Structure 1
Amino acid sequence: MDLYLFHTHIEPCRIFPSIDVTMGTIMVILVLEASRRSTGVAVPIVAIVFICYALFGPYLPDILAHKGYSIKRISTYLALSTDGIFGVPIGVSANFILLFILYGALLRKTGAGQFFTDVAFALTGWTRGGPAKAAVASSTFFGMISGSSVANTVTTGSFTIPLMKRTGYPAHFAAGVEASASTMGQIMPPIMGAAAFIMAEFLSIPYYKVCIAAAIPATLAFFSTFMQVHFRAVALGLSGLPKSDLPRIRTAFAEGWHHIFSIFLLIYFLMGNFSPERAVFWAIVATVISSFITSMIRKQSPRDFFMLILDGLKEGATGAVEVAAACAAAGIIIGCITMSGLGIKFSSLVVDASMGHLYLALPFTMIACIFLGMGVPTTAQYIIISSLVAPALVQMGVIPIAAHLFILYFGTRADITPPVALAAYAGAGIAKSDPWKTGVSAFQLGIAGFIIPFMFIYAPELLLIGSAWKILTTFLTATLGIVCLAAGVQRCMIVRTKWYEVIMLLSIAFLMIKPGLVTDAVGLILFIIVFGLQWLRKKKS
């Protein structure tokens, strides 16, 4: 086999010609501006800081210093290499995220949001504190397809927050419920946020394995918020709504069957080891066809249906452009990290600062994720922190997928963590409540999301890794810990708790973080004591 060398093509690439440098610089500037227009100033500012780091490396302190690079070298590396703008994030955005955003937009336009709300109210609206429980369920599932906690809070909160207030919940608590539930959508399989696709690419594993690993932690986070809502309803003496005022479950499924069909089809293809793009493509086709059939049955105009689908495609395209701009800007950051060797240095810094102790490294990582997530979209935040810190956690013995999920979880927590709790503040605007109180309520309602990542770091069985018996026992003890955490935070279980019962309940929750025979036994004994005290007081009253 002959080998032909095209010297006329290869030789000019030894040194980047001026046109490459010019176009590379223009491309970097355009990406920064596109990111500013779509996501705000936070991501471009972070990207510029990293560019400055690559540029002024020799003038930095020894721990961060490197040889430094010229503008020519930086611009061409970012624009022409596969570690820069055209790296993994933008590739995942084009291949996977675009289609899933289109799918989510079409689901919303065809009425999936109302369907989830109707089903949630039909199932839980009649129970104690039913409207808030329905809000938790509907907002979590709608947040799963919207991909934005703030947008979901505004969309579903306009209906659920006033209803919770009328039921008897305080305004700041109602807004906090909506914000916390909407934030959970980004970690709820099977349609997790855009960061999950990038995670699968970084880890070189199929997307469905990310969904499987995230299933139990997401369920525990959902259950915690659900139970907190219940315990607050017990404390306030609230009741549910009359069944006559609620949607009928049969009617809801009869009118929204096509949404369930497309979602189950998506799950089936993902679990069948189909590629994510093929799975979501057929889910989109199923959504359009089933929605068209439904519209014909309801004798709606074909033109109206066509315009509805067109609006959904427009909305999806707009959302995809926003994510693509953030991913491209994140590519600039990754490029600067790669060429300067900052990732290796930062990992060494984390290991040294924590003295090799995982229990110190994890809080450092948590703070970094929340701090960066306060102004940066979840996808960009995940890309940055995972590039810097994930290797250090893996080096300290953490399973790779656990390390990446840990980072993803705390990136989403920023939306409900004061002082920059954007989802909570959006809910406060609807509830007309104090923003700070709303932020604190959202933080409390989502507090399990701060505990669960530590749990699956120390107990990878929660990620469905290990034997079936170990997975089952770990899940049960974790569930007990989550229930006690919810009761302790809301200061109520069967009846209102005493101060010492709150301490015992929170102690149980922390004992369950790291599984073990001794900690589990002590936690179970404490729970029996608290439950017995609560039951006796309930019986006396």
Structure 2
Amino acid sequence: MTESQNIKTIIQWVITLTALGMCAFHLYTAQFGLFSAMVQRPVHLLFACALVFFIHPALRKTDRAAMGPGWRILDIAMIILTAAALIHIATEYKSLVARGGAATDLDLWLGGIVIIMVLDATRRIMGPALPIITLVAIAYTLFGHLIPGLWGHRLIDLEQLISYQFLTTEGLFTIPLGVSASFIFIFILFGAFLVASGTGEFFIRFANALAGHMRGGPAKVAVLSSATFGSISGSAVANVVSTGSFTIPLMKDIGYRPVFAGAIESVASTGGQFMPPVMGAAAFIIADMLGTTYLEVCKAALIPAVLYFVALLYMVHLEAVRRGLKGLDRSMLPPLWKTIKQGGHLLLPAVILIAFLVQGYSPMKSGLWALVAVVVISWFKKSTRMGPRKILTAMEKGARGSLEVALACACAGIVIGCVTQSGLGLKFSSLVIQASGGSLLLSLVFVMVASLILGMGLTTSAAYILTVILAGPVLVDLGVKPLAAHLFVFYYACLSCITPPVALAAFAGAGLAGSKPFATGFESMRLAIIAYLVPFIFVYHPVLIWQGSWYAIMLSFVSAVLGCVAIGSSLLGYLAGRLNLLFRAVLLGAAFLLIMPGLYSDLGGVALLGLIYLLMNLAAKKALPVSTQA
């Protein structure tokens, strides 16, 4: 081995050991209880920054070659500085309390270092968007006193800013980082263990065995497998790449257009982020920010998520019928019962997770024991057995997978600190209400646009947090229920993944399908139309998020499913035959009436849908003798 290869091997070992140390710390606290906030959160952030600095070097390849073996010195120096600052706050927080929170010169220097390091680590792993937003927030805090009028605020100097960010739990170490340091890490690790045990592959095999032979089978497999796996992975793009590499070529092989195949996979993968039970770990952030239970968030998200996938499956089926596409030959598919026998046991950890949550255990404890269950249950079959090597690999992948969320939450914490310290959070509601003229609908549109724009450059969790700290109070002040307001913001943060001009999930699907990225993005928007509408509905009528009587909830659900049928037929132009423009417009109106809760609107929507269906059937019967004679 050359000297550079030796250094590379050593660095890889350091990365692995750091990742394993991060996992060990979080597994210990999941079982035996969290440390105080000013210990748990800095230690979590320290592991995350150290891994990012090792995995994503500061220097480009050309600069590394010029510097020789010593090119790692800068990264190591940054890790040492970050460790010194974060260990300082974790070990000295008691003395900080004793002196009433007064900052020393050392506190201020180390606090400034941590803020800089967090910004750089976030830039390395996520790009410049979130650090730029954070720097704008810092600049506003420091110089906002120069702005006249309502947008200005009192003078805040650099010492006050650093003290607030570094020495309290109101800035850098606020709720988002706390959730990342407790719940989210365990669930990302749980997802990594599921992947290592072969659960992701089982989802695809099971979906193939279940639906692969149906009309447009591969597309239905894409929807089913992405809905299940996407909830666990938490990343729409990662989900597209993992399941799409298998499903997209099959969709194209049976006759789906490349742009449609890429769009189906990206829409299904995006929907996985708001499909309970895991919801890509966002459910924990929402629950913590609202001060409610994780189960309440999952329950509220269930009906909109089901409607999303019902609409998507229906449109997949219509496209197959319209184009005369068939499913895969059964000889190409795994037998259903054999598939269940071989891998059905891999579903047990998810059942155990839900059982623990229903029994009232904390999400962190539930996630820990579900993770243990993955390892134990994997030993039921030789083909899925997880040995020590697989376990250690899963731990390293889990730690690596947590880095984006951890750094996004840290940066989001800095922004939250700036918003609260400057008083912008309190003023923003009145500013938006004033701009919208007090109109709830206009305010909702403003918030939707903000969520979509922020989500284009950030992770879903970061986009949700940044939007909701400013826009959440606006909606609540206008009479929206808090849970509905938070889910409204979250849905559009998710949908940014398929909304051009920066639709990352759609672009990933286009790459696999060989289609044009923007065409795939707009096709994705068309297929996901129900998700763009439902958040407005549950804001005005919270019955869709389980706010109401059982009778009202079930009636609204059934009518909304019929609404999905109407809107799918309208968009694809098919219902028992090809629809003309007038019938498509009537069905679009029927869809709005059906999705909107209310007895009279439901009856009107059913009447219109039934009328169009009846007319199409009559037209088909009249055309039958003609085609027979021909």
Which of the five TM-score ranges fits, normalised by the shorter chain?
Answer: over 0.9
Aligned residue number for residue 522 of structure 1: 604
User: Larger Rg: 1 or 2?
Assistant: 2
Aligned residue number for residue 375 of structure 1: 457
Instruction: Confirm or deny that 1:395 pairs with 2:515.
Output: no
Q: Per the alignment, do residues 11 and 271 of structure 1 end up closer, same or farther by CA in structure 2, a change over 3 Å counting?
A: closer
Q: Per the alignment, do residues 464 and 26 of structure 1 end up closer, same or farther by CA in structure 2, a change over 3 Å counting?
A: same
Which one of the candidate residues 132, 136, 144 is aligned to 1:49?
A: 136
Checking the alignment, whether the CA contact within 8 Å between 2:199 and 2:346 is kept in structure 1 is yes
Aligned residue number for residue 213 of structure 2: 126
Aligned residue number for residue 270 of structure 1: 357
- Cα distance in 2 for partners of 1:202, 1:255 equals 41
- Cα distance in 1 for partners of 2:273, 2:413 equals 21
Q: Which amino acid aligns with 1:474?
A: S
How far the C-alpha of 1:353 sits from its partner, in A, is 2.1
- Cα distance in 2 for partners of 1:80, 1:252 equals 54
Aligned residue number for residue 358 of structure 1: 440
- Cα distance in 1 for partners of 2:566, 2:546 equals 23
Q: Which amino acid aligns with 2:182?
A: N
Instruction: Confirm or deny that 1:504 pairs with 2:586.
Output: yes
Aligned residue number for residue 76 of structure 1: 163
Aligned to 2:279, the other structure's residue is in SS state: coil
How far the C-alpha of 1:257 sits from its partner, in A, is 2.2
**Superimposed CA distance per residue, residues 421-469 of structure 1 (whole angstroms, 9 cap, x where no aligned partner):** 1001111111111111111111111111101111211221111121111
Equivalent residues in 2 for 1:451-530, closer than 5 Å = 451-530=533-612
Instruction: Confirm or deny that 1:187 pairs with 2:269.
Output: no
Q: Per the alignment, do residues 131 and 22 of structure 1 end up closer, same or farther by CA in structure 2, a change over 3 Å counting?
A: same
**Superimposed CA distance per residue, residues 452-509 of structure 1 (whole angstroms, 9 cap, x where no aligned partner):** 1112112211111211111111111111112211111112122221101111111122
- Cα distance in 1 for partners of 2:132, 2:96 equals 37
Instruction: Confirm or deny that 1:314 pairs with 2:396.
Output: yes
Instruction: Confirm or deny that 1:157 pairs with 2:244.
Output: yes
**Superimposed CA distance per residue, residues 92-142 of structure 1 (whole angstroms, 9 cap, x where no aligned partner):** 111100000000011111111111111111111111111101111101111
Which one of the candidate residues 337, 346, 361 is aligned to 1:259?
A: 346
Q: Which amino acid aligns with 1:305?
A: G
How far the C-alpha of 1:242 sits from its partner, in A, is 1.8
Aligned residue number for residue 4 of structure 1: none
Checking the alignment, whether the CA contact within 8 Å between 2:101 and 2:167 is kept in structure 1 is no
Which one of the candidate residues 376, 400, 412 is aligned to 1:289?
A: 376
- Cα distance in 2 for partners of 1:430, 1:305 equals 33
How far the C-alpha of 1:16 sits from its partner, in A, is 2.1
The number of equivalent residue pairs is: 530
Q: Per the alignment, do residues 159 and 10 of structure 1 end up closer, same or farther by CA in structure 2, a change over 3 Å counting?
A: closer
Q: Which amino acid aligns with 1:348?
A: S
Which one of the candidate residues 410, 430, 438 is aligned to 2:512?
A: 430
- Cα distance in 1 for partners of 2:136, 2:593 equals 41
Q: Per the alignment, do residues 513 and 345 of structure 1 end up closer, same or farther by CA in structure 2, a change over 3 Å counting?
A: farther
Which one of the candidate residues 212, 222, 230 is aligned to 2:299?
A: 212
Aligned residue number for residue 73 of structure 2: none
Aligned residue number for residue 446 of structure 1: 528
Checking the alignment, whether the CA contact within 8 Å between 2:230 and 2:280 is kept in structure 1 is no
Q: Per the alignment, do residues 493 and 23 of structure 1 end up closer, same or farther by CA in structure 2, a change over 3 Å counting?
A: same
Q: Which amino acid aligns with 1:442?
A: S
Checking the alignment, whether the CA contact within 8 Å between 2:122 and 2:130 is kept in structure 1 is yes
Q: Which amino acid aligns with 2:492?
A: F
Equivalent residues in 2 for 1:102-117, closer than 5 Å = 102-117=189-204
Aligned to 2:150, the other structure's residue is in SS state: coil
How far the C-alpha of 1:40 sits from its partner, in A, is 1.6
Instruction: Confirm or deny that 1:135 pairs with 2:217.
Output: no
Checking the alignment, whether the CA contact within 8 Å between 1:458 and 1:513 is kept in structure 2 is no
How far the C-alpha of 1:511 sits from its partner, in A, is 2.4
Which one of the candidate residues 312, 331, 338 is aligned to 1:225?
A: 312
- Cα distance in 1 for partners of 2:524, 2:598 equals 31
Aligned residue number for residue 180 of structure 2: 93
Q: Per the alignment, do residues 8 and 285 of structure 1 end up closer, same or farther by CA in structure 2, a change over 3 Å counting?
A: closer
**Superimposed CA distance per residue, residues 124-182 of structure 1 (whole angstroms, 9 cap, x where no aligned partner):** 11111111011111011111111100011011111100000001000011000000000
How far the C-alpha of 1:15 sits from its partner, in A, is 4.4
Aligned to 1:273, the other structure's residue is in SS state: coil
How far the C-alpha of 1:526 sits from its partner, in A, is 1.2
Checking the alignment, whether the CA contact within 8 Å between 2:543 and 2:597 is kept in structure 1 is no
Higher relative CO (Cα under 8 Å, sequence separation at least 6) belongs to 1
Checking the alignment, whether the CA contact within 8 Å between 1:454 and 1:513 is kept in structure 2 is no
How far the C-alpha of 1:13 sits from its partner, in A, is 4.8
Q: Per the alignment, do residues 61 and 505 of structure 1 end up closer, same or farther by CA in structure 2, a change over 3 Å counting?
A: farther
Q: Which amino acid aligns with 1:352?
A: Q
- Cα distance in 2 for partners of 1:190, 1:11 equals 43
Q: Which amino acid aligns with 1:25?
A: G
How far the C-alpha of 1:305 sits from its partner, in A, is 2.5
Q: Per the alignment, do residues 233 and 69 of structure 1 end up closer, same or farther by CA in structure 2, a change over 3 Å counting?
A: same
Instruction: Confirm or deny that 1:21 pairs with 2:103.
Output: no
Identical-pair percentage = 46
**Superimposed CA distance per residue, residues 298-335 of structure 1 (whole angstroms, 9 cap, x where no aligned partner):** 5x8x8x72212211111100111221111111100100
Provide TM-score, normalisation by structure 1.
0.95
Aligned to 1:413, the other structure's residue is in SS state: helix
RMSD (CA atoms): 1.7
Which one of the candidate residues 425, 439, 455 is aligned to 1:343?
A: 425
How far the C-alpha of 1:235 sits from its partner, in A, is 1.3
Aligned residue number for residue 242 of structure 1: 329
Identify unmatched segments of 5+ residues in structure 2.
1-93, 625-630
Checking the alignment, whether the CA contact within 8 Å between 1:458 and 1:514 is kept in structure 2 is no
- Cα distance in 1 for partners of 2:326, 2:231 equals 28
- Cα distance in 2 for partners of 1:512, 1:51 equals 47
- Cα distance in 2 for partners of 1:374, 1:487 equals 30
Aligned residue number for residue 3 of structure 1: none
Q: Per the alignment, do residues 525 and 14 of structure 1 end up closer, same or farther by CA in structure 2, a change over 3 Å counting?
A: closer
Aligned residue number for residue 12 of structure 2: none
Provide TM-score, normalisation by structure 2.
0.82
**Superimposed CA distance per residue, residues 9-50 of structure 1 (whole angstroms, 9 cap, x where no aligned partner):** 778556422111111111111111121122221111111111
Q: Which amino acid aligns with 2:197?
A: T
